[in-house]
Amino acid sequence: MKAKNQATMDRLNQDELQAACSNADNMAGDAAAMEALRKAAEASVVYPADGNYIGDWKNGNVVAANGKGLQWNDDPSEPNGGNCYACHQLDPNEVAYGTLGPSLTNYGMRGQSEMMLKYTWAKIYNPHVYNVCSHMPRFGSQKILTEQQLKDIMALLLDPNSPVNQ
């Protein structure tokens, strides 16, 4: 491998969480170490300063469908996408979606209580809060998506008018 454009060699350096999850068999019996990693993930979550979690679901749909960003041939001046459909079903009418993650259709049926907003935000921001060795990217803590993009994804998931909830 070699560095090219924004795909640099630092991608090969694992942080403590990645190293632990790469050696999950060694961590299986170490509940204290796993809890320490989970607490560190929880501490990394930054909630919106303005208290507003919900953006525009139409913009969120664009982010969810966009798989570009952080690859050597992507234009770094363009925003990254979330590529959510690679792992999840969101829109029940979508014909192509991944199955690595759970279906998120009708996610908004859970409501928009403060607890639900914070849970969903944290799950997108750093999913290791809830599953230490999650395969889901740390969209917020790794600065893959901007705060506004995170708000737009939140709207896609929670807005009753979003195709996710139809």
The per-residue pLDDT for range 116-126, each reduced to its tens digit, is 999 999 999 99
CB 7 within 8 A of CB 71: yes
Mean pLDDT of 37-62: 97
Please, is 74 exposed, middle or buried when counting C-beta atoms within 10 Å of its C-beta (0-12, 13-18, 19+)?
A: middle
- Please give the Cα distance from 112 to 117 (Å, whole number): 6
Partner residues linked to 43 by β-bridges: none
Predicted confidence at residue 72, as pLDDT, reads 87
**What is the predicted pLDDT for the residue at 23?**
83
Cα 165 vs. chain centroid, distance in angstroms?
Answer: 19
Domain chopping of the chain, boundaries: 9-165
Average pLDDT value for residue range 85-102: 94
* Structure-model confidence comparison of residues 19 and 145, the more confident one: 145
pLDDT (average), residues 107-113 = 96
pTM for the full predicted model: 0.93
Query: Which amino acid would we find at residue 115?
Result: M
pLDDT confidence of 2, banded at 50, 70, 90? confident
Over residues 22-48, the mean pLDDT reads: 89
Asked whether residue 29 carries a pLDDT value surpassing 80, the answer given is no
In words, the CATH class of domain 9-165 is mainly alpha
